[in-house]
Amino acid sequence: MIVIRLEAAVLLEDERRELCEFGRLIVESGLVVGSSGNLSVRRGRLIAVTPSGAPLERMTPDDCVVVDLSGTVVEGTRAPSSETPMHLALYEADPDAGAVVHTHAVFGAVVATTLPVLPAIHYNVLLLGGHDVRVAPYATYGTRELAAAVREAVAGGRSAALLANHGGVTVGRDLTQAYDRTRVLEWLCEVYVRSLAVGTPNILTAAELAAVERRMAQ
């Protein structure tokens, strides 16, 4: 029992450090302002998550919190992110998910405020596991209702969703992949929003996307 606790503490210390590294990166990238985002990493039954209300670029590994899959705090002195239920729902939905990144990035929030879905403005949408990105219906932040809506929005093997009047979320095998997908999501949303300013964007058809999928599979 003591050995298990020691092993968990060592592992989670690494993950907490990684959360801080990506917390700084995500702020420097302009994807997050202040504490308007949260990140987590799963290792086995445990999840390291950023603390509630913390500026991501200034938090320390000790600020991060470890919870189990039920959301119970296992280690840490601060409250876990208010969006922990959403993170847990995404881990529950995808056994291969190793990290979750949630932000209020501007263009994602713009699309999520105006549309029910981000259409296939570019074939890079396939990097997010679908032919479009669904917008989960609005629900109050931090609620199980929002967590359920987001889980539904990523159903079918998708790794990203937008949250109506809120922001976006991505899942990855690790923080690097989840972060990269957050950047792809924001780029797609920016291209779409800017395209609307120029004219009527051309949306790729299912056949065109299927052709790209075949090429990617080669």
Catalytic residue positions, numbered: 83
Distance, in Å, from the CA atom of 30 to the CA atom of 86, rounded to the nearest integer, reads 23
Going by C-alpha positions, the residue among 19, 79, 28 that lies closest to residue 48 is: 19
Three-state DSSP at 95 gives: coil
Distance, in Å, from the CA atom of 26 to the CA atom of 65, rounded to the nearest integer, reads 19
Distance, in Å, from the CA atom of 20 to the CA atom of 25, rounded to the nearest integer, reads 9
Q: How far is CA 86 from the centre of its chain?
A: 10
Distance, in Å, from the CA atom of 34 to the CA atom of 147, rounded to the nearest integer, reads 22
- Write the CB contacts of 189 (distance below 8 Å, at least 6 apart in sequence): 105, 107, 108, 110, 111, 118, 162, 168
